[in-house]
Amino acid sequence: MTSMRERMLAGELYQADDPEILAELNRAAVAMERFNGSRADDPDGRLAALRELLGEVGEGTWIRPPFYCDYGSRTTIGPRGFVNFNAVFLDVAPITIGADVQIGPNVQLLTATHPVEPGPRRDKWEAASPITIGDNVWLGGGVIVLAGVTIGDNTVVGAGAVVTRDLPPNVVAVGNPARPVRTLD
């Protein structure tokens, strides 16, 4: 029989109250507390806490607390990135962030989904799809990226946009739902 954790990692419907899943959530919550409580005058300690929390943190990447995630271990961030205050990464499925990515304050990357049908939703079933953000992307303040989305290299997403579907490389996208309004050279 497949465990709830295996179902979750495979992108299938699962229930999050499984003891194995709850243990992962608790591990991340402790590491997240350590990172969010870290001192600004101890950058090495802050980076160590971040590396304990996340799956991978590239050289020269900086995240400003507070930072929130589900598991942390499913998030990888390439080198030279920046994540501003109050980022929320619901990393039930993998979140892959490329090199030189700039993420504004209050950005949400949401891999989690729930059934539309009332019965399964009431029974606490959920699923997730990965998010991939290419190299040299800029997500403006308050951007929300939904499950299953890929954002191409060099793309800029304007503040407050809601990204519901893939965005190609080298565009400026705005709105809800986000749509390209300009091509970049």
pLDDT > 90 in the chain, percent: 95
114 is catalytic: yes
Q: Which residues lie below 8 Å from residue 2, measured CB to CB, with a gap of 6+?
A: 10, 12
CB 111 within 8 A of CB 92: yes
| Minimum mean pLDDT range among 5-9, 57-61, 174-178 | 5-9
User: Does residue 146 carry a pLDDT above 90?
Assistant: yes
Dihedral in degrees, nearest 10, Cα atoms 86, 91, 92, 97: 150
User: Does residue 185 carry a pLDDT above 90?
Assistant: no
Q: Could you read off the pLDDT of 39-55 as tens digits, one per residue?
A: 999 999 999 999 999 99
Task: Report the alpha-carbon distance of residue 8 to residue 22 in Å, rounded.
Answer: 12
Query: Which residues are paired to 96 by β-bridges?
Result: 76, 132
Q: Which residues lie below 8 Å from residue 149, measured CB to CB, with a gap of 6+?
A: 131, 132, 163, 164, 165, 166, 167
Task: Report the alpha-carbon distance of residue 31 to residue 80 in Å, rounded.
Answer: 22
Q: In the predicted model, what is the mean pLDDT of residues 118-132?
A: 95
User: Does residue 15 carry a pLDDT above 90?
Assistant: yes
Mean pLDDT of the chain: 96
Is-cis flag, bond preceding 66, omega within 30?
yes
Q: What does the block give as tokens for 44?
A: 């090495």
Length of the chain (residues) = 185
Q: Could you read off the pLDDT of 59-111 as tens digits, one per residue?
A: 999 999 999 999 999 999 999 999 999 999 999 999 999 999 999 999 999 99
Q: What does the block give as tokens for 152?
A: 């191409």
| Catalytic residue, candidates 22, 33, 114, 123 | 114
Sheet holding 56-57, edge to edge: 56-57, 75-77, 95-97, 131-133, 150-151
What pLDDT does residue 2 have? 87
Query: What's the whole-model pTM score?
Result: 0.96
Task: Report the alpha-carbon distance of residue 2 to residue 113 in Å, rounded.
Answer: 20
Domains and CATH numbers, the chain: 4-183 (2.160.10.10)
Q: Which residues lie below 8 Å from residue 52, measured CB to CB, with a gap of 6+?
A: 31, 34, 35
What pLDDT does residue 104 have? 98
Q: What is the pLDDT confidence band of residue 162, given thresholds at 50, 70 and 90? A: very high
